[in-house]
Amino acid sequence: MMKRVTKKVGKYEIGRTIGEGTFAKVKFAKNTETGEAVAVKVLAKSRILKHKMVDQIKREISIMKIVRHPNIVRLHEVLSSQTKIYIILEFVTGGELFDRIVDKGKLSEREARGYFQQLIDAVAHCHSKGVYHRDLKPENLLLDSEERLKVSDFGLSALPQEGVELLYTTCGTPNYIAPEVLSKRGYDGAAADIWSCGVILYVLLTGYLPFEESDLPTLYKKVSAAEFSYPFWFPSGAKSLIDKILDPNPETRLRIDGIQEHPWFKMNYESISQGEDGDVSLDDVRAVFDDIEDQYVTEQSKEKISPLTMNAFEMITLSQGLNLSALFDRRQDHVKRQTRFVSRKPARDILSAITSVAELLGFKVNRRGYKTRLEGASVNNAGQFAVVLELSLA
């Protein structure tokens, strides 16, 4: 009988794969010193180098280390070997809040308020550190084994540059985006996050979105005017709060402190321990990425950048201003994963990117005006599939 070989990275014993994406595998692991279960995100340095993801991944890791709070997925440390980067994360077992909404249709007022209180606590801590999430939605809110909410996915987060108060990048999921983010003017990241929190609270209490239209121009108009309605049974206290949060004017929109002082919010509120104060060391991040950037110069001198082995939609997300990460729709009776994305790129550039990447990966492409149909085989060749993309001009 062969003895099973266990891989060890630092003090962590690496186990089975529990998730896999384009750039990383996520593995279950155990801290051999404490017995604590962790999740380890394993990234190949070669892929990061070839596809110029160094700055993006370094930023996300740095932000996750800075925002340490009981309601935020914790990043313990970053390790590296000659070929891999290992990101040691808190192991969260309860799934997405999105799935909880799908299963129940809507949450009770007490349950919704509890999750919203935790969300606001987490967002308040992020903002106190100068971090703005910019893609808050139920899919990015996880639950642990004790039903505690954990904010995740800081891939679109922003740390404003010194002396710069406004952000200018349009990003996020359209149904959750604040009106000012859709405009060409700069916006306050804190106020934009608060708007998203208001949409999330509405979804928790109803099971569906306040702003939901089949075409983006109509959706934008309704978001810009805060044009939505409440069902007759909607809790009056929550309505009073949401009315102040979903204010299309960011200058008069309720702020974090106003939310925390609102009577509906304060009911049954149990303040948990605050985030950790003091400076957080980024020495391990710097060590890993200073080393990888040295390798980058060497890699670039040896070879040309090769195409990604990934699906077309993930590849397009590497282009500045394009975010197709939530393209595939998981339809449910009320709430669904979003299938739309926002970009300020010209229509011809978006269509050209989709076409060139799809053809590179062997998909058959049919274009008619602003509609594109992609046909191909599944990864394991189990069958054929087709995806139809439609571009709407706002």
* Tens digit of each residue's pLDDT (9 = 90 or more) over 2-13: 455 568 888 999
Instruction: Please indicate, yes or no, whether residues 85 and 157 belong to a single structural domain of this protein.
Output: no
Same domain (yes/no): 134, 165? yes
pLDDT score of 116: 96
Same domain, yes or no, for 262 and 290? no
Domain that holds residue 319: 312-390
End-to-end Cα, the chain, rounded Å = 64
CATH number at residue 188: 1.10.510.10
What would the pLDDT profile of 177-202 be if each residue is shown by its tens digit? 888 887 767 778 889 999 999 999 99
Distances (CA, A) of 100 to 43, 175, 205: 30, 19, 12
Residues 333 and 249 in one domain: no
User: How many domains in the chain?
Assistant: 3
Shared domain for 225 and 328, answered yes or no, is no
Nearest of 157, 24, 22, 146 to residue 88 by alpha carbon:
24
Helices (H), 303-380: 312-316, 347-360
What distance in Å separates the CA atoms of residue 203 and residue 106, rounded to the nearest whole number? 7
Same domain, 238 and 103: yes
User: Is residue 104 a part of any domain in this protein?
Assistant: yes
d(CA 322, CA 314): 10
Q: Phi and psi for 326 in degrees, rounded to 5?
A: -110, 35
Whether residue 137 is annotated as binding a ligand: the answer is: no
Same domain, yes or no, for 104 and 155? Answer: yes
The tens place of each residue's pLDDT in the chain, 394 residues long, gives 545 556 888 899 999 988 776 667 888 999 999 999 999 988 888 887 777 777 777 777 877 777 888 999 888 888 888 888 898 989 888 888 888 888 888 999 999 999 999 999 999 998 888 888 878 888 889 999 888 999 887 654 454 443 334 444 444 578 888 888 877 677 788 899 999 999 999 999 999 999 887 777 888 889 889 999 999 999 999 999 999 999 999 999 999 999 999 999 999 888 765 656 555 666 666 666 666 655 544 444 444 433 333 443 333 334 333 333 343 333 344 455 444 555 656 777 777 777 766 665 667 777 766 677 777 765 445 555 566 676 665 5
**pTM to 2 decimals?**
0.70
Q: Are residues 29 and 66 in the same domain?
A: yes
Residues recognised as catalytic: 135
Regarding whether 106 and 58 lie in a shared domain, the answer is: no
Task: Check residue 207 and give its pLDDT.
Answer: 92
In a domain, 189, yes or no: yes
